[in-house]
Amino acid sequence: MKRTLLTGNGAAAWAARLAAVDYIPAFPITPQTEIIETLADWIDTGEITGRLVTMESEHSMVTAAGSAAATGVRVFSATSSQGLLYAMEMLYTVSGWRAPFVLANVSRGLSAPITLEPDHNDILAARDSGFLQIHCASCQEVLDSTLMAYRLAEDERIRLPVIVNLDGFYLSFTREPVEIPDADAARQFVGSFDAENIRFRASAPESQAVAVLGGGPYSYFRYETHLAAINGAAVYDEIAEEFSRRFGRKHDAVEAYRADDADYLFVMMGSFASKAREAVDRLREDGWAIGLLRPRLLRPLPVVHLQKLLAKRKAVAVIDQNISMGMGGILHSELASVLYGRNDAPTVLASFIGGLGGRDISTEEFFEMAQSIRQAVETGQTPAPRLLYTQTELREVRKLQAIAQVERQQLGAIDD
Amino acid sequence: MYRIRFHGRGGQGMKTASRILGTAFFLEGYEVQDAPRYGAERRGAPIFAYVRADRAPINERGIIRHPDLVIVADDSLVPIPAAGVLAGITDHSLMLINSAEKEQVWKQRLNHSGSILTLPVAADVTERAELPYVGAACAGAAARLIGVISEAALEQAINDELSDLGADIVNKNLHNAVAAYRAMASHAGLVKEGSLVSAVDYEAPDWIDLPFDDARISAPTIHAAATSVLVKTGLWRTQRPVIDFDHCKGCWWICSSYCPDGAINVVDAKPVIDYDHCKGCMVCVAQCPSHAIEAIPEKQAKADEDAMRLEIGEIT
């Protein structure tokens, strides 16, 4: 075991290395490229074996990943944002094949307008694809979760691909101290991939994906995939327990930070949640009974854990770093669904949207959200969903719009 | 917690500087977070990198709003708002500027009530493109100003971060970093750890309810032709390609075709470089079969240009 400074991208590459992956189909995209560059370097210098192939697109990359997994070898791949969406057709297809592999997604906001910085609309677009999802908040978690993801994907009760999500910039390019497990210890934990009946062979061509006519068989296959994903919740708990025993780090399906006695909770996913931890610490110093819940596992949604952890709280602020156009925060909707009809559900479940396109969330804004939900308890009025957005930011946008307006007028004058 | 921000241009080694400082902190037993921040990656474009270091695990993330120390590797960035050099600077913040100008000049110019220091090794580093040496010097100076990093840890950090680049480069960086470290001896420990935000007494965010704007205003579309002409990307250049017409065969097409920015036009069978937009990638230098294009450090080219203009009376 070695403790060293690694970026999130470096941690993802290390995990693929420790999992002794056989095949890595690749296609570059900022801010992910460093993962495949690192693996390519190691293959080049002979530090790892395995085959890395650069494909002509993410669509082909995920096809290759699924196909290779269907031959029974261990596969790793990585993408981000537009790349994940470009592969969307194949995400649904390969999960339907029930061929397990691990895909790292480095979150980045979606176009248009185009950006490089993170939010979760890319990964959440894959929410219903049949891939399981683990969301990370530190570089250490990226490494550990990727190792755990192989166990989850390859478990006979599941057999589905898994996406490990890390935020662009905030994790991808940020170095933090990371413990790299010894190769042997990691190998023992991950185990070898017993592909059993997954034995697609080029030398013995046969049909992999079958067509079905009629809703009966189709529903069967789709619902079986759902049941396998649901199994993931209990299996994840087992794997997290074993990981903790072996490596001393516990990655619960839902992180509960200073939540035991908390009347108030923040709920959010990803690396921005560590900012919420900071705010919780400061608010606790001021006497607040407040904590943080952070779902690591988003698919399957750890429903039982969430119901238990949210029960009997006074108020909850759900902070979504994503937006479903025409509805709002996705995690907020999911939690409302988890809590509906339960007598012990918190009466206030407030929705905040923040961090879109990497927009920072300040500690002061967390304080303000805490004030807002406390006030909601006092008045009995849940606040309307709020975008974390300031007058100053709008003023900046108005300036840019004024410039654009002048530009349009000038161009109009040219046209005349 | 220590919060440090490095500002420079792509290619000047700011990421390297942050990594050297991060590793040095780590070697001294600190928890560390270091990261670069840039847009579309281009040599010469403004970038910054930051380091957080604390004895306890770090929960803060992303850009540093209120730095304890700001290091500016390239003083031409200070007046560029988009570079954000002055963002969140308070009396508490120490600024270290790599500049030939005096500290007092910068203090008056910026009306900064906190401390400002200039990097005395700036004079040695006459060439902006003399990569990562500026970065290493910045890291060395920062390490001493912070005061909790030993010279040995700094040296070890440079070895760790740069060993892949070979002994020569490591030694040059060590030399510059250690010189900067020693030059800051009289200011050792001047940087103080910033305080934590208080939940009792804080400035509330000026939140608003974002109003509806119709799509004529709110769609992110601005249609305009030739917008790239307006962006003088030539400012990013650290090396300038100069055509030697004694050797240029007037082939018509090679350099102009290879130029990824279309910044070389052929006029009367002669290639002409558009220096307003040439980013100094030096692809033309590599491609010219008659070796008729030379790479000249931008600073030197500018100085020669000024001397010429002075001579012909264009400037006084």
**How confident is the model over B64-78, as a mean pLDDT?**
93
Contact A272, A361 (CB under 8 A): yes
DSSP string, A166-221: EETTTTTT-EEEEEE--HHHHHHHH-----TT---BTTB----SPP--SHHHHHHH
Give chain B's length.
Answer: 316
Tell if the CB–CB gap between A407 and B22 is shorter than 8 Å.
no
Residue of B173, A41, B220 whose CA lies nearest to A16 = A41
The Cα–Cα gap between B95 and B138 comes to: 12
When scoring A5, A44, A106, A282 by the number of chain B Cβ atoms within 10 A, the one with the most, hence best to mutate, is A5
For chain B, what percent of residues have pLDDT higher than 90?
68
Which residue type occupies B99? Answer: S
Q: Minimal Cα–Cα distance from A201 to chain B, Å?
A: 41
Helix (H) or strand (E) holding A103, with range, is: strand A102-107
pLDDT of residue A209: 63
Name the more confident of B195 and A407. B195
> Hunting for tokens 């500690």 — which residue is that?
A363
Q: Name the amino acid, one letter, at A190.
A: V
DSSP B75: G
Residue A157 structure tokens:
């009760």
Q: How confident is the model at residue B125 (pLDDT cuts 50, 70, 90)?
A: very low
Between B40 and B44, the more confident residue is B44
Contact B99, A317 (CB under 8 A): no
pLDDT at B225: 75
**Mean of pLDDT over chain B:** 90
Count contacts between A and B (CB, < 8 Å): 108
Signed CA dihedral, A266, A351, A399, A113: sign only: positive
CB contact burial A115-126 (16+ within 10 A = b; e otherwise): bbbbbbbbbbbb
Dihedral angle of Cα A8, A11, A12, A18, to the nearest 10 degrees: -170
- Whose CA is closest to A132, among A19, A294, A298? A298
| Residue carrying structure tokens 């550990």 | A144
Window from A266-270, A361-365, B138-142, B193-197 with minimum mean pLDDT = B193-197
Report pLDDT for A44.
Answer: 95
B111 touches chain A (CB under 8 A): no
- The predicted-structure confidence for A73-100, as pLDDT tens digits, reads as follows 999 999 999 999 999 999 999 999 999 9
- Mean per-residue pLDDT, B46-66: 94
Tokens 């030399």 appear where? B175
Domains of chain B: 2-187 (3.40.920.10), 232-311 (3.30.70.20)
Given this model, what pLDDT does residue B98 score? 92
d(CA A382, CA B237): 55
Q: What is the pLDDT of residues B213-232, one digit of tens each?
A: 999 889 887 777 777 888 88
Q: Which of B224, B134, B187, B122 is nearest to A408 (CA)?
A: B224
Residue B63 to residue A360, Cβ atoms within 8 A:
yes
Please check whether residue A365 touches B, CB under 8 A. yes
At B220 the pLDDT is 83
Say whether residue A92 is in contact with chain B using an 8 A CB cutoff. no
Contact between A275 and B207 using a beta-carbon 8 Å cutoff: no
pLDDT confidence of residue A175? 98
> What is the number of other CB atoms lying within 10 angstroms of the CB of residue A343?
6
Q: Does A97 touch chain B (CB under 8 A)?
A: no
- Give pLDDT tens digits for B261-315: 999 999 888 999 999 999 999 999 999 999 999 999 998 998 888 888 888 877 7
Q: Could you tell me which CATH number the domain at A2-247 has?
A: 3.40.50.970
CA distance A275 to chain B (A): 5
Instruction: Give 10-residue mean pLDDT values along chain A (416 residues).
Output: 95 98 96 96 96 96 95 96 98 94 98 94 98 98 98 97 98 98 97 81 73 89 97 98 98 98 98 98 97 98 98 98 98 98 97 97 97 98 98 95 82 55
Residue ranges per structural domain of chain A: 2-247, 254-391
CATH annotation of A254-391: 3.40.50.920
Peptide bond into A31 cis (omega under 30): yes
- Give me the interface pTM, i.e. the ipTM: 0.93
Contact B35 A169 (CB under 8 A): yes
pLDDT for the residue B143: 98
The pLDDT-based confidence of B107 (bands split at 50, 70, 90) is very high
